[in-house]
Chains A and B, each alone.
Chain A
Amino acid sequence: MDAQSFSYLFVGLSFALYIGIAFWTRANSTKQFYVAGGGVHPVLNGMATGADWMSAASFLSVAGIVAFSGRDGSVYLIGWTGGYVLLALLLAPYLRKFGRYTVPDFIGERYYSKAARTVAVLCLIFISFTYIAGQMRGVGIVFSRFLEVDINTGVIIGMVIVFFYAVMGGMKGITYTQVAQYCVLVFAFMVPAVFLSIMWTNNPIPQLGLGSQLNDGSGLTVLQKLDQVTVDLGFHAYTGSIRSTLDTLMIIVTLMIGTAGLPHVIVRFFTVPKVSDARLSAGYALLFIAVIYTTIPVVAGFSRLNLTDSVNEVAYEDAPEWVGKWESTGLIAWQDKNADGRIQYRAGHALVPTKPLFTDARGQYGQRLLENAPSDSENEIYVDRDIMVIANPEIAGLPNWVIGLIAAGAVAAALSTAAGLLLVISSSISHDLLKSTFMPSITDKQELLAARLAAATAIVIAGWFGIHPPAFVAQVVAFAFGMAAASLFPAIVLGIFSERINKEGAIAGMIVGLVFSVGYIVYFVFINPHQNNADFWFWGISTTGIGGIGAALNMITAYTVSRFFDAPPTGVISLLKHIRQP
């Protein structure tokens, strides 16, 4: 069977499984719809959280980022896992004890204010839609590359599947589907990594393989070889760094506290039976995530070696088949600057502008010709970072069924995250805006209907974003983390650990943190993109790292403003005493 048939088979089987689960786990009450009845086993919740967390971006892109930036790519590995420590120690147990359905629920009750609740809902909706646009796009991309259907058709198929289990089953359906999706995606991610590790080092455990000696008889270890290859070609050493220390620190901090402040992750810990389960479940969640996150740098390192090995100084006509294939999708481009017919892979951008602009014509070797001007660099090849995971099996010459497996894994990663996000959007609308703020008289049944309608509407909007992606999807990921870090996380943590923070302080803090972070990102990404470099940044902190400063400003503001207003009422103090006990 060829790779495409395998992809159809695996994706089809996984879809059948998800739909089966949807029928088996229908939700009958709002409690089941919002928090799966609060009866999910901690290990299963950990798996579901793992699938929730592994988005299309972490499945497809992070390995690519690490492959091309070496140690500097580690900020994503550390940042997107370290947040779970904060979640387990500072948030999950107390929010579980609080025992309601949503994050704005807590903020609204703790700060005894509908205004605070509404601010939280707005943050949540903006964060979640930012995130979801990328997921639907990811589904579309996988469909178009592996199954060769149109991207829009791919997005619509994805919408229909999510619609089934998210609208019917709510959190209950999503949880059990995510458990299945975790199994699919961990298998899909590990299999190629094991193959790669054996291929280069004979070591079947990928995490150890990255440190092992190469089996080519050179006597070098994998990392020594990576350093040697990258330095020879003019890159910075793979295990070295070119980012400033302060910026690296701030990016890690922002990603960590942003992770802990993401509503679709927090809400997963509302679904376990008791407080101690929330702690334990966070541990399992991170364990399941760590299996994949410690494999990502392995895939990154080996694919960088593979890439260099198979293209550098190779004549275009003799290049492996995948080069032409990815060139035809526009993700690889080659410009023969020195007219020797060979591909030179060096440091620096190959093209001006950096993204390839293809003409319809073919060159003398059959390569696609470009409108781009050549850059000063000797580098002749453009490689899109996102293809590293997808193209890896082909680059490494792995069997066809592995390619089909990656397709199913990538779709699982994108769908599971999209479903988790859809749920927090729909519950914040039906529960926080309707039931708790504007229409308190509706019955449980009506609220459940409203939640389903909100989920359906959110799916349609998300699909629209997937088909008409805003041009800035890649840049706005910084938004989601910056906003979560600067707004929700400080408000929740201060709300649990301080008795003195009142509603005036909390609202002022959220607004200051948010306006500062969003303002900084908007200024550099949209208003003045040509200044978006370390020379102009505040203390050399990039837009990805600014949320940490926003969070600090949020806390300082909340403390200061709280001093000028009355302490919270006694009801809130007894609520605090209640959630602080197990």
Chain B
Amino acid sequence: MHESTSSEKNKQAIADRYWHENKKILLSLLSLWFIVALVCPVLLVDYLDQFSLGGFGLGFWFNQQGAILFFVAIIFIYHALMQRLEARLAVEKAADDSQAES
């Protein structure tokens, strides 16, 4: 009886950690999204156009190709980070469960 409540508590702690870590990942990836969607192609476009990438001015490249490619990367990075987080917490949860059983 006593053990099962402490295991409940642990489960809750793991769930809270998951949500907290998720929010941290979201915040950093959304900052990157903000930079490639709005800062590079619009706010810093004239500055970046001094540099050249494959025949494009860098600012113009962000407008017509770069932002889109970064968006794709951001989603796949998010997926990878979340998979890793979920795997890590699943291990802890399993360890916790076996402890509760024994």
Contacts and interface: CB of A to CB of B under 8 A. Distances in A.
A200 to B, nearest CB: 12
A290 interface: yes
Given A74-B63, A78-B68, A286-B72, A582 B37 contact: no
Contact of B83 (A252, A276, A287, A294): A276
Interface string B21-35: 010001001100100
A577 B15 contact: yes
B75 A283 contact: yes
A357 to B, nearest CB: 35
A82 B18 CA distance: 26
Given A78-B41, A245-B42, A287-B72, A222 B55 contact: yes
A249 B38 contact: yes
Contacts, number: 120
Contacts of A86: 33
Nearest to B73: A283
Interface string B53-74: 1111100110111011101101
A463 interface: no
A215 interface: no
A248 B42 contact: yes
Interface magnitude class on chain A: 35 or more
B55 A213 contact: yes
A506 B22 CA distance: 24
A1 to B, nearest CB: 36
Contacts of A78: 37, 41, 63, 67-68
A212 interface: yes
Contacts of B76: 283
Nearest to A87: B75
Contact of B18 (A66, A279, A286, A582): A582
A71 B68 contact: no
Contacts of A256: 37
B11 to A, nearest CB: 10
A489 B15 CA distance: 26
Nearest to B86: A582
Contacts of A249: 38, 42-43
Interface string A214-236: 00000001110000000000000
A530 B41 CA distance: 31
A253 B55 contact: no
B29 to A, nearest CB: 6
A84 B71 contact: yes
B79 interface: yes
Interface residues of B, number: 38
A252 to B, nearest CB: 6
Contact of B68 (A81, A88, A90, A93): A81
B19 interface: yes
A85 B33 contact: yes
A210 B82 contact: no
A294 B61 CA distance: 10
B49 interface: yes
Given A89-B30, A249-B42, A77 B74 contact: no
B51 interface: no
Interface string A353-392: 0000000000000000000000000000000000000000
Interface in A260-289: 276, 279-280, 282-283, 286-287
B38 A283 contact: no
A208 interface: yes
Contacts of B64: 66, 71, 74, 77, 210, 294, 297
Given A78-B37, A78-B41, A221-B55, A276 B82 contact: yes
A330 to B, nearest CB: 31
Contact of A239 (B29, B49, B69, B82): B49
Interface string A553-582: 000000000000000000000000100111
A131 interface: no
Interface of B: 15, 18-19, 22, 26, 29-30, 33, 37-38, 41-43, 45, 49, 53-57, 60-61, 63-65, 67-69, 71-72, 74-76, 78-79, 82-83, 86
The 9 closest A-B pairs by CB, nearest first: A211-B55, A74-B63, A283-B75, A297-B64, A211-B54, A88-B75, A279-B79, A82-B37, A239-B60
Given A89-B26, A90-B26, A208-B54, 13 more contacts: A82-B37, A82-B67, A82-B71, A85-B75, A88-B79, A222-B55, A276-B82, A290-B71, A294-B64, A294-B68, A294-B69, A580-B22, A581-B15
13 contacts: A66-B64, A71-B63, A71-B64, A85-B30, A85-B74, A89-B74, A223-B56, A252-B37, A253-B38, A276-B83, A283-B72, A294-B68, A294-B69
